Homo-oligomer: A and B are copies of this chain.
Amino acid sequence: MESHAAVIGAGVIGSAWAARFALHGIDVKVSDPNPDAIRIIDEVLGNARAAWADLELPLADEGTISVVESIEEAAVGAGHVQESAPENPAVKIPILEAIAAACPADTVIASSTSGIKPSDLQPSIANPGRVVVGHPYNPVYLLPLVEVVGGGLTHDAAIYRAMATYAEISMKPVHVRVEIDAFIGDRLLEAVWREALWLVNDGVATTEEIDDVIRYGFGLRWAQMGLFETYRIAGGEGGMAHFIRQFGPCLEWPWTKLTDVPELTEELVQTIANQSDAQSGHHDLRDLERIRDTNVAAILKALEANDWGAGRTLRDQRMRLG
């Protein structure tokens, strides 16, 4: 990217976008009304640099991150704008309008929303054809995935330009071709989350027991193959069609709490918070972030050595920077 990236909203997600751009040598202008923004950016940039070292990536000429006074100041002349404001259309839309008024008419404006359809964000935006969703996963400086979604008014060119920008900062863009609420990843995550809340609510398992089932079991599969490729193997010589015919009918058994969501009573919230304290409270938040990042970096390097999946994204990143 020839010009700077604008990052609007500098919470955990926005700050990590800023770090990801800067570590790829791209200057960043950030706008956020929160007086804590500079502190959060510094902390997240520190985490991102540590992850960079864990990944043994060569240091590029790091881009500068400047916190500016207004959305307009950040957006003027930007080559890409990434909006990461709170998850509420009433907050996001005026911000997107201000961005669109200030930046070049063909600059892609991407929202980090994790669930709002771009069609619900873009109608009032000047030149709405350049509005897309670019939904990342936390920690953004480390996980390669970004879901790219267009709305009814989005031009194909904006989709491709957003994907090119994300590839330039060593991400794996997946184009969500059909516009639905929550896209692909959060659909899957929400299904798991709902079921997990039931398990805690019904006293079947604690947060730690559920996490252990994930990280000692299928989580180890999903870091490298997803659901379908894993089940293709499980189908054995009969293949995928055999697997589905055999496994599919189980879905009709009354296993999961299909029709409703546990009420988030104060009691359930406290139960989860207390169980989470018992599970993880001996690490402070900074420790947990470092443990997570060190582990994810080690997994990425292991997959790179095997030339597979997200390890290939890391290899490409090394070549790009080297």
Given contacts A12-B236, A143-B221, A209-B184, contact A251 B193 (CB under 8 A): yes
Please, which residues of chain B bring their CB within 8 A of the CB of A188?
Answer: 192, 195-196, 210, 213-214, 218
Bound Cα distance from A47 to B288, whole angstroms: 35
| Interface hits, A86-132 → B, CB 8 Å | 115
13 further A-B contacts with Cβ under 8 Å, apart from A188-B213, A214-B222, are: A138-B234, A176-B209, A184-B204, A185-B217, A190-B195, A191-B256, A218-B222, A220-B223, A221-B296, A222-B223, A228-B276, A229-B279, A240-B277
Q: Is the pair B232, A182 in contact by a Cβ cutoff of 8 Å? A: no
Tell yes or no: A294 within 8 A of B by CB: yes
Chain B CB within 8 A of A3 CB: no
Main secondary structure of the interface of A (DSSP, over half): helix
Candidates B12, B145, B190; contact of A213 at CB < 8 Å: B145
**A224 CB-CB contact with B under 8 Å:** yes
Tally chain A residues at the interface, Cβ within 8 Å: 113
Interchain CB contact under 8 A, B224 and A144 = no
Determine the chain B residues whose CB is within 8 A of the CB of A226 once the complex forms.
210-215, 219
Find chain B residues with CB under 8 A from A68 CB.
none
Contact with B along A177-219 (1 / 0, CB 8 A): 1101110111111111111110100111101111111111111
Asked if A322 is at the interface of the complex by the 8 Å CB criterion, the answer is no
11 contacts between A and B (CB under 8 A): A178-B202, A182-B255, A185-B214, A186-B255, A191-B191, A192-B192, A196-B227, A224-B299, A233-B288, A233-B292, A248-B264
Residues of A participating in the B interface, judged by any CB pair closer than 8 Å: 12, 115, 137-138, 143-145, 147, 172, 174, 176-178, 180-182, 184-197, 199, 202-205, 207-230, 232-234, 236-237, 239-241, 244-245, 247-256, 258-261, 264, 269-270, 272-273, 275-277, 279-280, 285, 288-289, 291-292, 294-296, 298-303, 305-306, 308-310, 313
